[in-house]
Amino acid sequence: MRKNIYILCLSLTIASSSFAQNGIEKVLQSIETNNPSLQASQQLNKAQKLEARTGIFLPNPTVELNQLWADKSVGGNSYEFAAVQSFDFPTVYSHKNKLARMKSELSDFQYASSRQEILLTAQQVCQEIIYLRQQKQLLDRRSRNAERLSELYQQRLANGDANQLEFNKIQLEKINTNNARRLNAAALKAQLEKLQTLNGGIAIDFTDSIFPVTVSLPEYPQLETEYLAADPTLKSLQSESLSAQRTVKVNRALTLPKFDVGYRRNGGSETQMNGFRVGLSIPLWENKNTVKQAKLQAEYTLTNTLANQQNVKATLKELYLQAQALENSRNEYAQALSHQRNEELLTKALEAGQISMIDYFVEISILYDSMQNYLDVEKEYQNTVAQLLKYKL
């Protein structure tokens, strides 16, 4: 009946609130906890934050003790003791602390970017599994129909009411359908294993066979604004650019004089003297070209950030237009399929002699191909929307 196909179409696109649990969200939560790449990224993030805080403190103080021996006729033994602390120009430490905070933020953004890509991959794997399960339902229906036809025409062939060519055509349909089912089963198994791998090798229960309700996309200007503001990859590039600009200030401050301050004591058999030590390092050669190099690096990071931002905008616009086109196609397929004759009606017409075998296979092939195209469009639409909304992961 036509009503059956209409219900099938709706089941492939719409899930009611009481029926469609978003198992994808539970899968993503599990993968965020168990994924080994994310665990490694977390450790790397901690290490990078510690590295950012390295080198921002005063250098170690130095302590010296010199012992001199001499004949008593010239005054006897003497010694010299000194404790010295060196430090950069004071503004260096202010700039280094600010740079350390920026590098910590950069590390957080890099981790967030890695996390987002892994979760997006997991979400797309879930969508592929749902698609393959829906495809399996379609192939199972097609296989049952082919088996029914095979039994019918085997009987007709025995009674002399059908010819061998018609029977052979049905047998080819059975072989093609069974082959498609085997490929579907293999692909489904591979995707389930991939999902388990993403979950750190831990078995994960994901039984959904219906796509969750897709949220309506906002208007493009709003989507672009939200995406650019939340995308961790862009934030990472922006943070890298700010860090490079702060590095210029650090290197410029390092070209200022360095100081040594300390305590000194000389002693011998007859006299002892106490005093202090003050030293000044004259910046002539050590930091040559460091400021120039940092400026060039800052210019590169700024240009790279702007270039990536433009690329993201272009990709985002392309995906948005693609999503709109896929949504229109999906709706058109759903409406058209709801008015098509299903397998049962076609089979009854064939049995009654109202249509020939050739007409039957033309009609049934168009129907099955259209339903398969509908599944393909639905999957592509879900995949495209996932990419557009990945900034929310």
Q: Does 124 score more than 70 pLDDT?
A: yes
What is the phi-psi region of residue 87: left when phi exceeds 0, alpha when psi lies from -120 to 50, beta otherwise? beta
Highest mean pLDDT among 177-186, 204-213, 293-302, 358-367: 177-186
What does the alpha-carbon distance between residue 22 and residue 27 come to, in Å, rounded to a whole number? 9
- What tens digit of pLDDT does each residue of 242-286 get? 999 998 988 888 888 888 888 888 876 567 778 888 888 887 777
Percentage of the residues of the chain whose pLDDT score is greater than 70: 91
What's residue 390's pLDDT? 93
Mean predicted confidence (pLDDT) in 365-373: 90
pLDDT of residue 15: 37
On the question of pLDDT at 13 being above 50, the answer is: no
Using one digit for the tens of pLDDT, what is the confidence trace for 205-222? 899 999 988 778 889 999
Distances from the Cα of 276 to the Cα of 68, 108, 259, 260, 270, angstroms: 20, 46, 13, 10, 21
Q: Say what percent of the chain tops pLDDT 90.
A: 47
List, in order, residues 6 or more apart from 216 with CB less than 8 Å away.
none
Query: How high is the pLDDT of residue 21?
Result: 44
Of the ranges 64-68, 80-84, 323-327, the best mean pLDDT one: 323-327
Predicted local confidence at residue 208, as pLDDT: 93
pLDDT band at 32 (very low <50, low <70, confident <90, very high): very high
Q: CA-to-CA distance for 382 and 372, rounded, in angstroms?
A: 15
Question: Is the model's pLDDT at 365 over the cut of 50?
Answer: yes
- Among 5-19, 94-108, 279-293, 350-364, which is the least confidently predicted range? 5-19
Alpha carbon of residue 185 to chain centroid:
27
Tokens of 135: 């495809």
Name the more confident of 300 and 359: 300
Query: Of 118-132, 300-314, 334-348, 367-381, which range is least confident?
Result: 334-348
Rg (CA), the chain: 37
pTM: 0.84
Burial 262-297 (b: 16+ CB within 10 A, else e): beeebeeeeeeeeeeeeeeeeeeeeeeebbeebbeb
The dihedral through the CA atoms of 294, 297, 303, 308 has a sign that is negative
Higher pLDDT, 59 or 2: 59
pLDDT(4) > 60: no
Q: What's the confidence (pLDDT) of residue 8?
A: 47
Is the separation of the CB atoms in 134 and 10 below 8 Å?
Answer: no
pLDDT for the residue 73? 64
Let me know if 24 is exposed, middle or buried by CB neighbors in 10 A (0-12, 13-18, 19+): buried
Q: Is the pLDDT of residue 318 over 50?
A: yes
Task: Walk me through the domains of the chain, giving residue ranges and CATH numbers.
Answer: 2-392 (1.20.1600.10)
Give residue-wise pLDDT tens across range 97-110.
999 999 999 999 99
The answer to whether 8 and 141 are in contact (CB under 8 A) is: no
The strands making up 62-68's β-sheet, listed across from edge to edge, are 62-68, 78-87, 258-268, 272-281
